[in-house]
């Protein structure tokens, strides 16, 4: 099953509300017939990778060569794109699954703030984590900070996302036309396609003002619960 995003124009305000729905065979959705085995799926998506290195908290570590499914990645503000990306196989697979949705919007490069960080939620070192262990400690999360199109346009989560009113759900809230609309439509399409289990946007709290945190927390399914 594939998903899409419908953009509804508000007649009076000129703002944009973003909602998700079933789109049957929409070409911007992820490929769904990949093998169940993660490493076999990476090969299916054409991702070049090596196994390891072994790292605390990471069940299935791989180091992927960039690009991943045709997408470049770089650390936000870095002079050069990444040459490789370390993470659990599952997060690398999710990036390959996200690629059709990103490329359908002409995105060629993702700026990120990292994947693996062996830490607790809110700080500290596992296993003593009063608030739980971060999915970054399992290398099953990535922080997405910006997106560059083939035309050279850069969409910054920090600079271009307009925080939605508390009463509004992220994918139902009116969005400002332009870059804010683009970012809302993008992240809502990715969540609707079930690429990741949890998505936290700048609406969540100040710690997430400059990025989309996306992760693969088991048995979870929400774009955010305001903190």
The 10s digit of each residue's pLDDT in 17-63 is 444 333 333 445 565 689 999 999 999 999 999 999 999 999 999 99
Question: What pLDDT does residue 3 have?
Answer: 36
54 in a structural domain: yes
Confidence label for 167 from pLDDT (cuts 50, 70 and 90): confident
Residue 111: in which H helix or E strand, if any? strand 107-112
Coil, strand or helix at 35: coil
Distances from the Cα of 1 to the Cα of 7, 150, 176, 177, 197, angstroms: 20, 28, 30, 29, 16
225 in a structural domain: no
Determine the average pLDDT of the residues in 172-195.
Answer: 96
Residue 165: in which H helix or E strand, if any? none
**Angle, in degrees to the nearest 10, between helices 179-192 and 89-103:** 130
192 in a structural domain: yes
62 in a structural domain: yes
pTM: predicted TM-score of the whole model, two decimal places: 0.86
Determine the Cα–Cα distance for residues 208 and 140; give it in Å rounded to an integer.
17
Range of the domain at 26: 2-215
Determine the average pLDDT of the residues in 184-193.
Answer: 96
Determine the Cα–Cα distance for residues 64 and 71; give it in Å rounded to an integer.
12
Query: Residues of 154-176 as b/e, b for ≥16 C-beta within 10 angstroms?
Result: ebbbeebbbebeeeeebbebbbb
Question: What pLDDT does residue 171 have?
Answer: 93
Determine the Cα–Cα distance for residues 98 and 195; give it in Å rounded to an integer.
6
Between 123 and 91, whose confidence is greater? 91
227 in a structural domain: no
37 in a structural domain: yes
Q: What are the backbone angles phi and psi of residue 223, rounded to the nearest 5°?
A: -85, -30
123 in a structural domain: yes
152 in a structural domain: yes
- The total number of structural domains that make up the chain: 1
Determine the Cα–Cα distance for residues 10 and 200; give it in Å rounded to an integer.
25
Q: CB neighbours (10 Å) of residue 210?
A: 17
């Amino acid at each position: 099953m594939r998903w899409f995003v419908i953009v509804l124009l508000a007649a009076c305000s000129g703002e944009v509300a973003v909602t998700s729905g079933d789109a049957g065979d929409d070409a911007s959705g992820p490929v769904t017939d990949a093998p169940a085995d993660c490493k076999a799926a990476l090969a299916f998506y054409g991702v070049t990778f090596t196994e390891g290195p072994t790292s605390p908290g990471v069940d299935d570590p791989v180091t992927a060569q960039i690009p991943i499914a045709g997408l470049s990645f770089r650390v936000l503000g870095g002079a050069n794109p990444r040459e490789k990306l370390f993470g659990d196989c599952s997060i690398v697979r999710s990036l390959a699954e996200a690629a059709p949705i990103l490329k359908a919007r002409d995105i060629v490069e993702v700026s990120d703030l990292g994947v693996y960080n062996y830490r607790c939620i809110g700080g500290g070192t596992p296993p003593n984590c009063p608030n739980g262990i971060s999915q970054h400690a399992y290398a099953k999360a990535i922080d997405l900070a910006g997106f560059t199109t083939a035309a050279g346009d850069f969409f910054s989560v920090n600079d271009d996302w307009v925080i939605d009113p508390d009463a509004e759900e992220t994918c139902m809230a009116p969005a400002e036309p332009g870059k804010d609309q683009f970012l809302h439509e993008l992240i809502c399409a990715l969540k609707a396609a079930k690429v990741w289990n949890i998505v936290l946007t700048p609406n969540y709290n100040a710690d997430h003002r400059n990025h989309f945190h996306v992760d693969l927390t088991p048995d979870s399914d929400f774009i955010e619960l305001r903190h």
